[in-house]
Every structure is written in structure tokens, then in C-alpha cells.
Amino acid sequence: MSRTTPSGSTPRTTATTRISSRSRTRSVPNSSREQGPRPRAGAVAGEAEPSDGEVRQLSTRIAYETQWLRVREDDVLWPGGVRGVYSVVERDDYALVLPREREGFWLVEQYRYPVGRRAWEFPAGGWPHGSVGGGAEALARAELREETGLRAGRLTHLGRLAEAYGFVAQSVDVFLAEELEHGKHEREQTEQDMRQQWFADSEVAAMVRSGAIIETAAVAALALFHLERGSLR
């Protein structure tokens, strides 16, 4: 259930309410990143303005689609009556797990093609393409086992976050895994370069500051953990 989307590999995706791929690679055509209104002719006569700042969808079309993501272009009506085009990247939801042990965390490291470097992150991903899956908790347990070989005796849901919601429709469920049992990992073919290591809390904090951990979801997940423990500072 890999979070990468290379050609020919099995993606970690599922449908938005069916939890899925957190596919951490977000390969999006430049045209799909266009945001904000593209005025056509000012306000549109005969169309009521959206209330409460809501942007209203008038029509939609699929501009680009693969088994890992879909880009749609919506004709929208902005507050003020201006029409425009809004491009949205649709990706399946995914789960991210913080494996907690001995006042520290287990992290995984792998090469991330879009940024051209290796980086440390938390185990995460989604159901294989076309799989119905079994919910967020089942997905979290599966990802933890697949990437690290760890089994959680206790799993706590810390929260649900939205990914780059200015142009991406994708959410992530964050879980804290405790009472860990060690076993053999079940990594996919595209994850064979992955390695795992335990880091103390102070080391994890230093990795965020130094840029060894750069993924926004990982940093946000740490914030949820410290909010849960009352230790955010």
C-alpha cells in the first residue's frame, strides 16, 4: 500500500470516506494548480451570489485522471458574482501512524522523487487501488505492519487533517500506536529502499528543526500528539 505513485506500481489509495492512499507523492500537472477566480465577464446576471463566502459549483469536468489521482476543473461562482475556474486534485484519504515506544518514535526513511531526496517520516498510506478496505483503524494497523513489522496493542485516533486544501481534496487520519510488538515488515517492491529507526523525542524535535523531517503531515501529526499529551510548547 505504497504512498508513491510510480508507473507500474501499486498505489496506496482508496476513496475519500473509505480511507486510502496517502500517497505522499503529489504529482500534479502545472495547470491543475491554478487557483482563484479567472474572471470571464464580471458579475453574471441572473445568478444569485453565494452566501457566507461560499464558492458555488456551476459545472464540472475531469481534466486528467490516473489510478492514483484525478484533476477536475469546476466552473464556479465566487462571492460577488464573479465566475471563474477552480482546479481541484482529488486523492483518496489515507492513514498516518505514530509508533510510540520508550519516550520516542519509530520513523521510516525513503527516497521521495518529487523533492529529489531521502527523508524521514511516519508510516502512512492507503488501501491498494480498487480495494474497498476496512476503515481508518484497519488501514493504520496494516500500514504500520507493512512498513515496520510493528503491531500495536493500543491504537488511539488523534485527529483528522486536510491535505493542502487550497487545491487538494484529501484527508489523513492520524493514529498513535502503543504497546508495540515487533515482527517482520511486509514492504512493497517500491519500498525496498525504505529503512526504519527509533529516535528519542529530543532527536525527533531536532530532525524537524534541521529539515530531516520536512513532510507537513508528519509535523502536524506530532503537534496532535503533543496536544493530546498537553506537552505542546
User: Over the stretch 41-53, which tens digit does the pLDDT of each residue have?
Assistant: 445 555 666 667 8
Place of cell 492513514: 95
Residues 86 and 98 placed together within one structural domain of the fold: no
Q: Which of 39, 71, 90 is the last residue of a domain?
A: 90
SS3 49: coil
The secondary structure element, H or E, covering residue 12 is none
Q: What is the pLDDT of residue 47?
A: 61
74, 39: one domain: yes
- Residue 188: the pLDDT is 72
Model pLDDT, residue 126: 87
What percentage of the chain exceeds 90 in pLDDT? 64
User: How many domains is the chain partitioned into structurally?
Assistant: 2
User: 194: which 3 cell numbers?
Assistant: 525504505
Q: Give me the residue label for grid cell 500534479.
A: 28
Q: Which amino acid, 161? A: L
Separation of alpha carbons 205 and 116, rounded Å: 23
- Give tens-digit pLDDT for 102-131: 999 999 999 999 999 999 999 999 887 666
| Cell numbers that stand for 33 in this block | 494548480
Same domain, 203 and 141: yes
Q: Are 89 and 169 in contact (CB under 8 A)?
A: yes
**pLDDT attached to residue 52:** 74
Structural domain that includes position 172: 94-229
CATH number at residue 99: 3.90.79.10
In whole angstroms, what is the distance from residue 147 CA to residue 154 CA? 18
The answer as to whether 51 is a domain residue is yes
If pLDDT is split at 50, 70 and 90, which confidence band does 134 have? confident
Kindly tell me if the per-residue pLDDT of 181 is higher than 90. yes
List the 104-112 sheet strands across, edge first. Answer: 117-121, 104-112, 195-200
Contact 149, 185 (CB under 8 A): yes
DSSP category for residue 204: H
CB 2 within 8 A of CB 126: no
Same domain for 128 and 72, yes or no, is: no
What SS3 class is residue 43? strand
Q: What is the predicted pLDDT for the residue at 123?
A: 97
Q: How confident is the model at residue 9 (pLDDT cuts 50, 70, 90)?
A: very low
Residues 6+ apart with CB under 8 A from 26: 69, 89, 91, 114, 164, 168
Amino acid at 89: V
Mean pLDDT value across residues 5-26: 38
Pair (153, 209) in one structural domain: yes
1 lies in some domain = no
Question: What's the confidence (pLDDT) of residue 122?
Answer: 98
Percent of the chain residues topping a pLDDT of 70: 75
Give the span between the Cα atoms of 213 and 118, in whole angstroms: 10
Grid coordinates representing 163? 491535505
Burial class (CB in 10 A: 0-12, 13-18, 19+), 48: exposed
